[in-house]
Structure 1
Amino acid sequence: MVPEEENDGLLDAERHQARHTIAARAQLFPVAEKFVSLNGEGLASGRPAAFIRFAGCNMWCTYCDTRWANHPLVEVEGWSVPQLLAWVAETGVSCVTLTGGEPLLQPYLPDLVQALLSVESPRPLRVEIETNGSRDLGPMAHLREAAAEAGLPGSLHFTVDWKTPTAGEAVSAAMRRENYDVLDERDAVKFVVGSEEDLVFMERMADEAGLWDRCTVLASPVWGALEPAAIAAYLIERGLDRARLQLQLHKIIWPNESRGV
């Protein structure tokens, strides 16, 4: 069922977060699920990672494959920063993916990221934030630079969506252009494409924002809507040798699973 907050693909983030007021006041994160799997996409694709999926999103994309976690009534567990740190340590992996939903809706995300970047033993952590591109990334970018200046051992990476027309007109228009200015070679911008129109859109936006020389540009097909071969042909024909075709590994390896992968 589409939630009552839907409005042309955009959700009322404040009303959505109000569902988790008790957890927020206790400085807990509304965690929809946490698990260890392979990174299915992004620059760490194929690498085992500890995933923390937060509930709640301010968007309702047409192709969303974690819609269950975005529903206002989704069941969550409240986890504190120390509890999440302990769980990550128990997993034994050094790659942590913060996803959702929309992680940047979480008011205490900087506290969690700072703590993760401070881990030294047994290995520093590679922390990735997957964000939909509509929330202000500036504070997290400042945190990254401050952490580097302080000599924290971990590294922070951003995978930022740039919503295409297939995601919905209002969704595509909600991108914060200034977010892409804070990215560098540590980061990626992901275009989920479901048509040739989306591919043309990707090329134009990457050109206008100067993404090719700033970060990695990923083209990922809407699962079942556009064949990877069509994306490959477009990249080759247009000479887009700085873009990467990205396939969602988790959907290839575990095609019938929607959670825990």
Structure 2
Amino acid sequence: MSCFKVAEKFVSINGEGQRAGELAVFLRFCGCNLNCDYCDTRWANTADVKYELASAEDLVTYVKSTGVKNVTLTGGEPLLQADIARLIVLLGASGAEVEIETNGSVSLEEINSLKPRPSVTADYKLPSSGMEKYMLTENFSCLTLRDAVKFVVGDMCDLARAEEIINEYGLIDRCRVYFSPVFGKIMPEEIVEFMKERKLNGARLQLQLHKIIWKPDMRGV
């Protein structure tokens, strides 16, 4: 039986994504295959990070004990975890509404076939991240209106590239589309002006609520 390396688990509001503002149980796993310049959870990917080992059954029991229905699997990169599909199925069978936050570089094919299928918020890493070359655009074909693509924007060049991807793959009609500013790098009003100029109907600006409510580097929130 596989065990998961869990960097932290806690209940808070969803700070972003499709259920922003709703209560959720967060399960943050260790390890990531990318190294984005603006990563705000790099601590969870270091070799010396403290973690607990937990089975899928342990995590389902914890989630049920909270009384909170929404579950967000995050990281790091949760789709790198062995047996993540089994955990998702068990959580779904327990009545949880599962959302996966993925970095856009790992195939969604296995997740797409699960029943019940979780909702997905997939990043598309833009040029300022330094990781765009690792993006799997074939994942877009797996997405539906239950899912989202999140563009984390650091500058105006990122915005222009995001618009290209949105138009090339018809993302507005396929799934939800979010622009999220890199904290401290670009002002939200700059994104709004870009959206107005380009008539980006259907796209949404989304600020990270947890960084507004608490200190930007606070964990467990």
Q: What TM-score, normalized to structure 1?
A: 0.83
Q: Any idea what the Cα deviations from partners look like across 1:111-134, whole Å, max 9, x if unmatched?
A: 100001111xxxx32100000000
Report the equivalent of 1:207: 167
Aligned mate of 1:156, from 118, 133, 148:
118
- Percentage of identical aligned residues: 51
Q: Equivalents in 2 of 1:257, 1:205: separation in Å?
A: 30
Q: Equivalents in 2 of 1:192, 1:116: separation in Å?
A: 28
Q: What pairs with 1:73-84 in structure 2 (closer than 5 Å)?
A: 73-84=48-59
Answer yes or no: is 1:182 the counterpart of 2:142: yes
Answer yes or no: is 1:93 the counterpart of 2:68: yes
Report the equivalent of 2:127: 165
Report the equivalent of 2:181: 221
Aligned mate of 1:61, from 12, 36, 48:
36
* One-letter amino acid of the structure 2 residue matched with residue 165 of structure 1: P
Report the equivalent of 2:212: 252
> 1:72: Cα distance to partner?
2.1
Q: Tell me, yes or no, if the aligned pair for 1:55 and 1:69 is still in contact at 8 Å.
A: yes
Q: Secondary structure at the match of 1:129?
A: strand
* One-letter amino acid of the structure 2 residue matched with residue 125 of structure 1: A
Report the equivalent of 2:108: 137
> 1:225: Cα distance to partner?
0.3
Q: Equivalents in 2 of 1:39, 1:71: separation in Å?
A: 24
Q: Equivalents in 2 of 1:257, 1:161: separation in Å?
A: 20
Q: What TM-score, normalized to structure 2?
A: 0.98
Q: What pairs with 1:112-131 in structure 2 (closer than 5 Å)?
A: 112-119=87-94, 124-131=95-102
* One-letter amino acid of the structure 2 residue matched with residue 176 of structure 1: L
Q: Tell me, yes or no, if the aligned pair for 1:66 and 1:258 is still in contact at 8 Å.
A: no
> 1:142: Cα distance to partner?
1.0
Report the equivalent of 1:11: none
> 1:256: Cα distance to partner?
4.7
Q: Equivalents in 2 of 1:125, 1:240: separation in Å?
A: 33
Q: Tell me, yes or no, if the aligned pair for 2:79 and 2:106 is still in contact at 8 Å.
A: yes
Structure 1 unaligned blocks of 5 or more: 1-25, 149-154
> 1:201: Cα distance to partner?
0.4
Aligned mate of 1:102, from 74, 77, 83:
77
Structure 2 unaligned blocks of 5 or more: none
> 1:107: Cα distance to partner?
1.2
* One-letter amino acid of the structure 2 residue matched with residue 133 of structure 1: G
* One-letter amino acid of the structure 2 residue matched with residue 44 of structure 1: R
> 1:198: Cα distance to partner?
0.4
* One-letter amino acid of the structure 2 residue matched with residue 156 of structure 1: P
Q: Tell me, yes or no, if the aligned pair for 1:192 and 1:219 is still in contact at 8 Å.
A: yes
Q: Equivalents in 1 of 2:189, 2:205: separation in Å?
A: 10
Q: Equivalents in 1 of 2:129, 2:201: separation in Å?
A: 25
Q: Equivalents in 2 of 1:206, 1:221: separation in Å?
A: 17
Q: Any idea what the Cα deviations from partners look like across 1:161-200, whole Å, max 9, x if unmatched?
A: 00000101xx101001111110000000000001110000
- Give the aligned length: 221
Q: Tell me, yes or no, if the aligned pair for 2:40 and 2:217 is still in contact at 8 Å.
A: no
Q: Equivalents in 1 of 2:82, 2:139: separation in Å?
A: 18
Q: Tell me, yes or no, if the aligned pair for 1:65 and 1:258 is still in contact at 8 Å.
A: no
